């Protein structure tokens, strides 16, 4: 039997755990810091905080005991990006030295590095990325759902092909761990931009004009940061960006809509905004070291101003349309 621990009992961790726990060959446990959630799952087969109306598979268990990791073969990290690395370091001594670690978090850590890169320098376990166009609500309701598994070890591909067999999860594979991690951050940034645009104009023409520019900017940033262009066309790229930018269940799109409608104030300080602002600043600071930010990356540079300056958001759309008007050349 394969022992799987999912660190985090939030929506995505619970949904993933519930899907995998239906397989008799998998022993799935959520490792949580929320005692009430653990009690609710173990005693009533319900996550009372995140899915109060959905009955969970009775095989899915939850615990607050880090000792579960000593016998774990596979660890999924399903906690906020800003705390992921510190949390793993805090439980490092419990982790089975042969366990495979998969990161689901989409954001930079406090070191302003991707989570996979930070963890690779701190643990001896293989560290993979597991990202895709996934709303937890649909995953837990057993609708077909896609992820990209990124690892440099082809044997891990084979392992996971068996793990997700006969579930509603579909995966494609990549060796570009860096690119998959970068795209999982970029898609949130550009979803905010699409949200701002849609808040001003309910125009399909404009939406897909900006969507095309956004996809091009994402590709150029991906390449500058060492990712591979073909990764754009995996589930983690085109699929995850489209889901996050165009669907109102997306928190980052919703943040963009709020900003565009004038509700961006100092009172908006939740983790979605914080992660978005950190990510924009990291990319812009790095890009500006070698390239003209305003000239080559007009969308992200304008969002940088929204986050960091006294900005008139009503001018956002006109400003990005004026920049780099004829930006696409023949190749």
Secondary structure, 3-state, the chain: CEEEEEECCCHHHHHHHHHHCCCCCEEEEEECCCHHHHHHHHHHCCECCCECCCCCCCCCEEECCHHHHHHCCEEEECCCHHHHHHHHHHCHHHCCCCCEEEECCCCECCCCCEHHHHHHCCCCCCEEEEECCCCHHHHHCCCCEEEEEECCCHHHHHHHHHHCCCCCEEEEEECCHHHHHHHHHHHHHHHHHHHHHHHHCCCHHHHHHHHHHHHHHHHHHHHHCCCCHHHHHCHHHHHHHHHHHHCCCCHHHHHHHHHHCCCCCCCCCCHHHHHHHHHHHHHHHHHCCCCCHHHHCHHHHHHHHHHHCCCCHHHHHHHHHHCCCCCCCCC
Q: Write the CATH number of the domain with boundaries 179-322.
A: 1.10.1040.10
What tens digit of pLDDT does each residue of 58-84 get? 999 999 999 999 999 999 999 999 899
> Tokens in use for 168?
């509603």
pLDDT recorded at residue 330: 37
pLDDT recorded at residue 314: 92
What tens digit of pLDDT does each residue of 85-137 get? 999 999 999 999 999 999 999 988 878 899 999 999 999 999 999 999 999 99
What tens digit of pLDDT does each residue of 166-198 get? 999 999 999 999 999 999 999 999 999 999 999
- Nearby residues of 328 by Cβ (< 8 Å), 6 or more positions away: 216
Q: How far apart are CA 311 and CA 80, in angstroms?
A: 28
What tens digit of pLDDT does each residue of 199-247 get? 999 899 999 999 999 999 999 999 999 999 999 999 999 999 999 999 9
What tens digit of pLDDT does each residue of 214-226 get? 999 999 999 999 9
| Domain residue ranges in the chain | 2-175, 179-322
Q: Confirm if 261 and 197 have CB atoms less than 8 A apart.
A: no
Q: How far apart are CA 83 and CA 64, in angstroms?
A: 17
Whether the pLDDT of residue 267 is over 70: the answer is no
The correct answer on CATH 3.40.50.620 for the domain covering 2-175 is no
pLDDT recorded at residue 331: 42
Q: How far apart are CA 208 and CA 141, in angstroms?
A: 30
Global confidence as pTM: 0.92
Position with higher pLDDT, 189 vs 271: 189
């Amino acid at each position: 039997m394969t022992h799987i621990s999912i660190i985090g009992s939030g929506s995505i961790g619970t949904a993933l755990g519930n899907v995998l726990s239906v397989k008799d060959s998998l022993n799935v446990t959520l490792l949580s810091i929320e005692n009430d959630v653990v009690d609710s799952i173990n005693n009533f087969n319900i996550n009372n905080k995140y899915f109060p109306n959905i009955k969970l598979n009775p095989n899915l268990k939850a615990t607050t005991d880090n000792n579960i990791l000593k016998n774990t073969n596979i660890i999924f990290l399903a906690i906020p990006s800003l705390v992921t690395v510190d949390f793993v370091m805090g439980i490092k001594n419990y982790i089975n030295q042969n366990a495979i670690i998969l990161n689901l978090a989409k954001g930079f850590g406090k070191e302003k590095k991707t989570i996979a890169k930070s963890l690779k320098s701190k643990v001896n376990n293989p560290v993979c990325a597991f990202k895709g166009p996934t709303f937890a609500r649909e995953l837990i309701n057993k609708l077909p759902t896609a992820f990209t598994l990124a690892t440099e070890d082809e044997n891990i591909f084979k392992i996971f092909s068996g793990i997700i067999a006969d579930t509603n999860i579909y995966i494609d594979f990549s060796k570009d761990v860096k690119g998959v991690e970068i795209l999982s951050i970029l898609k949130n940034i550009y979803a905010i931009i699409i949200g701002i645009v849609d808040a001003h104009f309910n125009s399909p023409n404009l939406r897909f004009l900006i969507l095309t520019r956004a996809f091009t900017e994402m590709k150029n940033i991906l390449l500058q940061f060492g990712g591979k262009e073909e990764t754009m066309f995996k589930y983690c790229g085109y699929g995850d960006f489209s889901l996050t930018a165009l669907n109102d269940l997306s928190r980052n799109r919703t943040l963009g809509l709020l900003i565009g409608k004038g509700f961006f104030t100092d009172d908006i300080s939740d983790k979605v905004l914080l992660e978005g602002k950190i990510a924009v600043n990291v990319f812009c600071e790095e890009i500006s070291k070698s390239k003209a930010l305003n000239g080559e990356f007009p969308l992200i540079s304008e969002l940088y101003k929204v986050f960091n300056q006294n900005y008139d958001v009503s001018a956002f759309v006109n400003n990005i349309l004026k920049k780099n008007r004829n930006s696409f050349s023949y190749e």
